[in-house]
Amino acid sequence: MKFYFITFRSVTFAQRGEKVLNGGGFRCTLQRTPRWMEEQGCGYALRLWTKDVTPAVELLRENQVPLRKVYAQRGDGQLEELTV
């Protein structure tokens, strides 16, 4: 299982996303984004543990929760931006 970051432009959107994902059976936690992500304009993120992030992103979109970017942890521990 991998972890992913889904970033949001506001804490309100991140909180809505957390509620939707937890209600949909996904395990996630709300947190401030690492400083390098804040420079991208993303202040809050959900850290999500799952095998595949695509269903989580689809659930957020179905529930009209606007997200910014999605990152996956690579094997070397670095984060890589995904197109989902």
Task: Quick: pLDDT tens for 16-29.
Answer: 999 999 999 999 99
Find the radius of gyration of the CA atoms of the chain.
12
For residue 79, give the amino acid letter: L
Would you say residue 14 has pLDDT above 70?
Answer: yes
Helix, strand or coil for residue 10?
Answer: coil
Tokens linked to 13? 């959107």
Write the CB contacts of 1 (distance below 8 Å, at least 6 apart in sequence).
Answer: 49, 50, 51
pLDDT at 79: 86
Using 50, 70 and 90 to split pLDDT, how confident is the model at 5? very high
pTM above 0.75, yes or no: yes
